[in-house]
Structure 1
């Protein structure tokens, strides 16, 4: 470590340039990761807030929740096998507020559920993002297709679906508004499920885990895949950066390595020096980028879907260090292969 730090102080510009590049790449990765998680929450927090469990939809719905319809017999069958099962329906729609402005929302009706608020007939509970836009408790929302308005009874935090605010209504209101008398989805949490080691199978119903159900949401998987691929490419680029940088450094120092090997310095010590330099550069760059990305989260506009937790930042930082270690190690293979006299002669050329 002492030898590595001494060399870095001697060649400040060279290592500062590398550190600056690593800092920019890691900062960009943290920002994109925050946007990925933020968009994920904005797209499906209604589902992601649920505990681990099993979702059931009609098999003929072809993994499309809006096409699913659970008959009363199917609901009864599920309830008999899993008494704690919850049933809910989701329908994208809109309403007109008191200022005659149209709002897009996801209407949700749930029965036998402790995961979603229970709403009285004629009332609606909205996601808190709509409160920030001027809607207040007691306001009446309307729609040209409704016979009667709904009264805003309260707000809940972080409940969105398909990038729209959630609007929880009574099942009777849901049936009247959307002309249906069946529920679309059944949910059984693993913590309350009987025989929770394996999802209970029901005839003509398809079971989904939480992650599998998220992928049935239109645009969710494509959106997340695209952003995650960018994060992965940035991580790969950082590993290649370390490999190329240390390869060039090692080529320039072959003569020095030959002398050190000739006087008895083991190859392992040379690798440790290279790893120490990589670790120092990575840690300093990652600390700076982590602090700036967290500050960005605090200062970002309220409407920006950005969500980056410290655990997620720590995991990404660990991946950066591991990839940097691999890249630096691959570039150092030449150190192991070089012979002292050959390296000295090459360094003298």
Structure 2
């Protein structure tokens, strides 16, 4: 460790450049992990708030809520105490100045998926809705009359709730009659018992329903089946894993070049009786110091960047995940140093000093 630190102090510029590269790689990894978490949250915020076990949809819907259609009577036949019926439709909502893609949820006020109102009040009558606070950030406000792209019905915002987005769209919560008027229009009375699915809390998913036309889906599986969710997560995670490989290769190249430049010095040290193991440990220690500093600076820079990012950027930093990624970056950097260690072990002292 003494040899490694002493060399870093004597060649500051050289090693600052290496730290800078490692810092940039770490910064990119941490930022991508935050972006992956943020984009995932856009899709699943409303679902996570349910704290549910499963979602029951029709078998033919292929795990898609919007493609599922059943009756409230079907929900009543389920052998579970805690259930919540749910209707869902997507639309474009607009007030006098703004437009936004929204997901409209039809729910019952006395069931567990009813959101907590943080501003305003809960819906009490027809066509009143509780809106996601994401709409508030976009300029919508209490009392706004919302026109919808799919119907002549208008909705009034009477309250706001936190963290309520589904498949990247802010959610509007209304009662079931409101949902049915928006979805079916003049045929709402005929379809007054129609819903899209049932949200369930239970310890035994297999016992929820015996109806072969219905499918009880675990919540995590339901989320992974949302359009684009899995593909988006895999793409960002692949980029992160690829950066780990890049980090290892960069460190390996830098350290190998430095080792080659110091072959004669290592040869002299070996001729004086310094064992290869000591020199190898010195290179490993040096790599650990450089990687640790680079990762720490990248970590701090990422958190500082998060403070200044606008709310429109979907970034959510998960500290435990970032710490794991930081440890992995240090580990792959050390792995990249193994090539240089092997070069040191093979050094012939006589040849290295020109003997």
Q: Which residue of 2 aligns with 1:224?
A: 233
SS at match of 2:66: helix
Moved more, 159-168 or 86-95: 86-95
Query: CA deviation digits over 1:221-274, x for unaligned, max 9?
Result: 222222222222112100111222222333333444444445444444333212
Q: Which residue of 1 aligns with 2:99?
A: 102
CA distance in 2, matches of 1:204, 1:325: 55
Q: Which residue of 2 aligns with 1:66?
A: 66
Moved more, 126-135 or 46-55: 46-55
Note if 1:346 corresponds to 2:352: yes
Following superposition of structure 1 onto structure 2, how do residues 166-315 of structure 1 map, counting pairs within 5 Å?
166-179=171-184, 180=191, 181-189=193-201, 193-195=202-204, 202=210, 203-315=212-324
Q: Which residue of 1 aligns with 2:51?
A: 51
Note if 1:27 corresponds to 2:34: no
Question: Could you list the runs of 5+ residues in structure 2 that have no partner in the other structure?
Answer: 116-121, 185-190
TM-score, normalising length: structure 1? 0.86
SS at match of 2:230: helix
CA distance in 2, matches of 1:282, 1:304: 29
- Residues 176 and 333 from structure 1, CA distance in 2 versus in 1: closer, same or farther, beyond 3 angstroms? same
Question: Is the Cα contact below 8 Å between 2:52 and 2:219 reproduced in 1?
Answer: yes
Of 144, 154, 158, which residue of structure 2 is paired with 1:153?
A: 158
Of 101, 124, 128, which residue of structure 2 is paired with 1:120?
A: 124
Question: Is the Cα contact below 8 Å between 1:65 and 1:216 reproduced in 2?
Answer: no
SS at match of 2:194: coil
SS at match of 2:156: strand
Query: CA deviation digits over 1:286-327, x for unaligned, max 9?
Result: 222212211111111121112113323222211211211222
Question: Is the Cα contact below 8 Å between 2:39 and 2:315 reproduced in 1?
Answer: yes
- Residues 247 and 56 from structure 1, CA distance in 2 versus in 1: closer, same or farther, beyond 3 angstroms? farther
Q: Which residue of 2 aligns with 1:334?
A: 343
Of 83, 86, 106, which residue of structure 2 is paired with 1:85?
A: 83
Query: CA deviation digits over 1:317-344, x for unaligned, max 9?
Result: 11211211222234423334x26xx244
Tell me how far 1:93 sits from its aligned partner.
Answer: 0.8
- Residues 104 and 272 from structure 1, CA distance in 2 versus in 1: closer, same or farther, beyond 3 angstroms? same
Query: CA deviation digits over 1:62-110, x for unaligned, max 9?
Result: 23221112334531233x2x2113332321112332x264332111123
- Residues 14 and 62 from structure 1, CA distance in 2 versus in 1: closer, same or farther, beyond 3 angstroms? same
Question: Is the Cα contact below 8 Å between 1:121 and 1:172 reproduced in 2?
Answer: no
Aligned-residue RMSD, C-alpha: 2.6
Q: How many residues are treated as equivalent by the alignment?
A: 339
CA distance in 1, matches of 2:158, 2:112: 18
CA distance in 1, matches of 2:270, 2:74: 76
Of 326, 330, 334, which residue of structure 2 is paired with 1:317?
A: 326
Question: Could you list the runs of 5+ residues in structure 1 that have no partner in the other structure?
Answer: none
